[in-house]
Chains A and B, each alone.
Chain A
Amino acid sequence: MQLCVMGFPSYLLVTTEDTLMPNAIDDVPRQAVKFASFDGSTTIQTKHCIPDRYRFWKQGPPFQPCISRGAGLSYAAASFSSSGETIDHSSFNRILDFDSSQGILEVEGGTTLGQIYKFATRHGMMLAVQPGHPKITVGGCLAPDVHGKNQFRDGTFLSQVESVLLFHQSYGLIELSRNTNPELFSLTCGGYGLTGCIISARLRLVKIPSPRIRFGLRTISNIFDLRGKLVEAATHNELIYSWHNFLASGDRFGKGFLVTGNFLDTDSSSSVSVDEHEAGNLSADSRARLPLALFNRFTTKLFNGAFERSMNMKPKEEVTSLYDFLFPIHDKEIYFYLFGRRGFHECQIIVQTQHFDEFAHRIREWLSRHPIPITLASAKLFGGARDLLRFSGAGVCLSLNFPRTKQSLTFCLFLDELTKNLGGWPNIIKDSRLSAKTVASAYPGYEVFRDRLRKFDPRRLYRSELSERLAL
């Protein structure tokens, strides 16, 4: 049954006998917990609850400011704030329905990409778009509308979302899709969890010939060699990303590799194991165990050199498992531990392709004067249109990781200015330091997003440190 509630905007609400019952006594216990963002920038004490029954999702007062939490792996503090409680979705991780003929999978918001991988590959399918760690949840992908290694071909996570079941304290359960409540659907996919809790989603899977990938490796002589190779590779490869050494100096600055991936046909012989893997125990707490950072200019040079040598020793083409290709971080979690308690920055920026060489040139210039240990520099090709606060649009997307130090903030501010001058835009979910002013100037859809969100939820019940910092 569906109905509209008088006094509220006309959203199509999903009502069942269960949701029409009087508001159950909320018997879910709360615990005071100190949450940290994955990059180590933000620590906040807040209330935490882990509901495990559907009776928790009841509309009506008392209204409580809150925000959903999935795996807690967002670099920015998107799943907690000091002014509201955190609702953990880890118990809502079930596979609700699967239509194998259409490839439509319905899952709860706390379901992880690893669970979906395991299920989908059994049926010769996969999610076309997924980020790099199997512990990330569907809600955690949908809220920031994440991307994978094929954004130029398949778009962002939104492109495979058929519908979403959203819970909001003021409205109850709301069905969202491109046809039902389309504006709210658009606001929710890439809405950073600010429109409510994602209870479940129907996702479109794609057929794959096999869970094996033909991995290709091409050398890049310097960062200025990237643009052409990336654009050229995009014409005949399914998955692409690059790795660069930003500690190499002079003409070798940004030397590295272009990594490509293409599915193997079923009958291709291969000895690659496609066993199911268990995701490593990655969390913001485990990441921050080391009291000191082990990355500095000297060790990072060694680290990058060792990685480069290991890549050079690999064959230029080999067969690898899809799991290893999709989730390259899953057995390399130690990389994040080496940043220690203080953590790291990730600046992920899209600049239009024609401006990329100037962008890289200015970064090289700055780094030659103010050396910063860049532990990771990686690029992907992006396409599509920009909308609201989604990290999308045509250009080259460059990600830089570096330890959080006194000097690192100066580099971040330099990148902000450079990005602005070249008309680029940063990724909100990756950079926990972005200000409302920076985001408002980089995202033409900022005001529209803010206005729509306030129109939908005048009480602004769903909030996080991210939303408060960005004045959303």
Chain B
Amino acid sequence: MRFVIVGASAGLGRALAEEAASRAHDLLLVATDASDLRALTADLRNRFEVDARYICADLGDPLAIDTILVAVHEFGVVDGLLLPVGFAVSNDDGTLDFPTAQRIVNINFVSVLKLVQSLWNQLRDRPDSWVVGFGSIAGIRGRTRNVVYAAAKRALLTYFESLRHLAVGTSIVVQCYILGYLDTQQTFGKRLLFPKASPRALAKRVFDRLDDGGSAVFYPWFWSIVARILRTLPWMAYKRLRF
């Protein structure tokens, strides 16, 4: 099968690309840095003998989606779209300048929306196809530490719920993983409340469960309990939290 992975140069994106290639899937990888993508696609071609290509695009710029779509067209028929896209800044505390805030929304939500929208009809025509998104526990409830990022991820969760609804009765399987801490650069060296999950283990799970139908699942599973607690916490109590 042929997959497009957006945000593929490192972390979860790279793990997904390696897992897909190990299962003999052909790939078009999208990320910002040519050096990383060149190295990764070369490695996948050498080790797994798959058709691995790349296109550089800055998802902060909505026009970049057009560049990706041209590359997708050249890549040929696509069976799946994996979207491990994420961008956050450390000072997202309500004081961000508008261009940075817009960039966060563009990368985390608008780019995903535009890509899925552009490829939806093509995917619907395939006998089996997949759209897999990756949300964040941050999208469960807004908070002071990542004001814009949480909003963008909340939008993404809602959008994926709508997509699942849209996909009912079609050949498209829409899945959304709501992620807790992953062992990547974003969490390296940080003291965290809960253990970090391995991107490789998540990538394996994603491909193991492709045929399980549409779903939205927390990963690792215990984040569903955290999310439930956060959702049910009354505002009187929630507003006192500083996290």
Q: Do B10 and A52 touch (CB < 8 A)?
A: yes
Which chain B residues border A31 with CB–CB below 8 Å? Answer: 188-189
Docked complex: B13-46 residues within 8 A CB-CB of A: 14, 33-36, 39-40, 42-43, 46
> Nearest CB to that of A54 among chain B residues?
B35
Which chain A residues border B34 with CB–CB below 8 Å? Answer: 17-18
Q: Do B185 and A28 touch (CB < 8 A)?
A: yes
Interface residues in B, total, Cβ within 8 A: 18
Which chain A residues border B36 with CB–CB below 8 Å? Answer: 53-55
**A53 with B9, Cβ < 8 A, contacts A29-B188, A94-B40 known:** yes
The yes or no answer to A97 lying at the interface (CB within 8 A) is yes
B28 to chain A, nearest CB (A): 18
A38 to chain B, nearest CB (A): 23
The yes or no answer to B220 lying at the interface (CB within 8 A) is no
Q: Do B47 and A95 touch (CB < 8 A)?
A: yes
The yes or no answer to B11 lying at the interface (CB within 8 A) is yes
- The answer for the CA separation of A235 and B42 in the assembled complex, in Å, is 41
Which chain B residues border A30 with CB–CB below 8 Å? Answer: 189
A105 to chain B, nearest CB (A): 9
A333 to chain B, nearest CB (A): 22
Interface size classification for chain A: 20 to 34
Which chain B residues border A28 with CB–CB below 8 Å? Answer: 185
The yes or no answer to A119 lying at the interface (CB within 8 A) is yes
Which chain B residues border A98 with CB–CB below 8 Å? Answer: 46
- The answer for the CA separation of A48 and B185 in the assembled complex, in Å, is 12
The yes or no answer to A354 lying at the interface (CB within 8 A) is no
The listed residue (A50, A55, A108) touching B39 by CB distance below 8 A is A108
The listed residue (B33, B46, B185) touching A95 by CB distance below 8 A is B46
Which chain B residues border A91 with CB–CB below 8 Å? Answer: 10
The listed residue (B14, B35, B39, B185) touching A29 by CB distance below 8 A is B185
The yes or no answer to A4 lying at the interface (CB within 8 A) is no
Q: Do B10 and A95 touch (CB < 8 A)?
A: no
The yes or no answer to A440 lying at the interface (CB within 8 A) is no
Interface centre among B9, B42, B189, by most A CB within 10 Å?
B189
- The answer for the CA separation of A92 and B36 in the assembled complex, in Å, is 10
- The answer for the CA separation of A53 and B9 in the assembled complex, in Å, is 8
Which chain B residues border A334 with CB–CB below 8 Å? Answer: none
B209 to chain A, nearest CB (A): 24
Which chain B residues border A48 with CB–CB below 8 Å? Answer: 189
A-B contact pairs, 29 of them (CB 8 A): A16-B35, A18-B33, A18-B34, A27-B185, A29-B185, A29-B188, A29-B189, A29-B190, A30-B189, A48-B189, A52-B10, A52-B11, A52-B185, A53-B9, A53-B10, A53-B35, A54-B35, A54-B39, A55-B33, A91-B10, A92-B39, A94-B40, A94-B43, A95-B42, A95-B46, A96-B39, A96-B42, A108-B39, A119-B46
